[in-house]
Amino acid sequence: MTRLRKLMLDELQRRNYSQNTVRSYIHAVEDFAKYFNRPPDQLGPDHIREYQVYLFRERKLSAGTIEGYSAALRFLFVKTLRRPYLSDHIPFPKQHRRLPTVLSQEEVQRLIESSKNLMHRAMLMTLYATGVRRAELCRLKVADIDSDRMLVHVQQGKGGRDRDLPLSPKLLETLREYWRWIKPKTYLFPGMVKNWRADVPITEKMVWAAVAAAAERAGITKRVSPHTLRHSFATHLLEAGSDLRTIQVLLGHAKLADTTVYLHLSRRHLQAVASPLESIQLSNPDQVSRSRKRIKK
């Protein structure tokens, strides 16, 4: 381990960053150094500018991904190398905010019914019934399913925060049937080692594959991912009358602003707003001319 890598790891640990963040920051800095084939502490503003352009033009990465790389470089130069003046030379790219895809409840039903097997069905039902992130789903343990209190315990979610979620009776029934079949020991959804079932967490890639395969069999043309079920969970709760603060807690959002996006997706809230067109008087459309000839001046 190089001196700089150890120094950066120490600074990350001092701030109690999550393991996912530590891995992504170290990977980004390694990629930065590899691009120039030089130690990162020997690089400066011109190199940072060239690297960010390279990520956009040649790697064609999304603005969100490049934002993660930029955050890693800021941490390296500002926090680890103590060069605060370089923060202005590492801009975060502007992101075009798109509304997330949401499935109707009928589409969610079709998706779950199209699961390949009982394990995939249990995974999809858990995603939709709790709104957990795919990484949180992978790390769920058998002991996290609290049937006595009808809760699902999420340990060390995003930002290292724990939270409890309500356990749906319908989900519990499916999980019990699934447990009798697979008999998982530690992790609720165990993964594979050398093509054999093992007591390790399932990979996020396998969760993606399960959702994508079910969507294809269900004939859903929307772009569906595990996160789509999280968005659908939150939107359907809002349409059913749940308040934003409750949904924020269930999703594990640090800021309420992150939850307000679902106001733009809720049909109940959109339909509650009357268009200003409704307040003006217009003649009946059947009395309007159908002629398409140009009007002479």
Domain boundaries, the chain: 3-89, 105-270
- 3-state percent helix, strand, coil for the chain, nearest multiple of 5: 60, 5, 35
| 153 annotated active-site | no
Active-site residue identified among 79, 83, 227, 269 = 227
Q: Which residue has the higher pLDDT, 273 or 172?
A: 172
pLDDT digits (tens, 9 = 90+) for 114-139: 999 999 999 999 999 999 999 999 99
Of 1.10.443.10, 3.30.70.940, 1.20.140.10, 1.10.10.10, the CATH number of 105-270 is 1.10.443.10
Fold match, 3-89 / 105-270: no
| 158 annotated active-site | yes
Q: Which residue has the higher pLDDT, 241 or 178?
A: 178
**Which residue spans within the chain are E strands per DSSP?**
145-146, 151-154, 163-166, 190-193, 196-201
Q: Per-residue DSSP letters for 81-118?
A: S--GGGGGGSPPPP----PPP---HHHHHHHHHT-SSH
- Give the burial class of 269: count Cβ atoms within 10 A of its Cβ; 0-12 exposed, 13-18 middle, 19 or more buried: middle
- CATH superfamily name and code, 3-89: Tyrosine recombinase, N-terminal domain (1.10.150.130)
| 231 annotated active-site | no
| 236 annotated active-site | no
Active-site residue identified among 158, 163, 217, 269 = 158
Global pTM exceeds 0.85: no
> Contact 43/32 with Cβ under 8 angstroms?
yes
**pLDDT tops 90 at residue 213:** yes
Going 229 to 230 to 234 to 237, the CA torsion angle's sign is positive
Active-site residue identified among 120, 230, 231, 236 = 230
> Contact 256/248 with Cβ under 8 angstroms?
yes
Active-site residue identified among 120, 121, 133, 231 = 133
| 120 annotated active-site | no
Residue 67 is classified by DSSP as H
| 85 annotated active-site | no
> Contact 211/224 with Cβ under 8 angstroms?
yes
pLDDT above 90 as % of the chain:
67
What is the pLDDT, as a whole number, of residue 273?
Answer: 57
pLDDT digits (tens, 9 = 90+) for 216-252: 999 999 999 999 999 999 999 988 888 889 999 999 9
**pLDDT tops 70 at residue 38:** yes
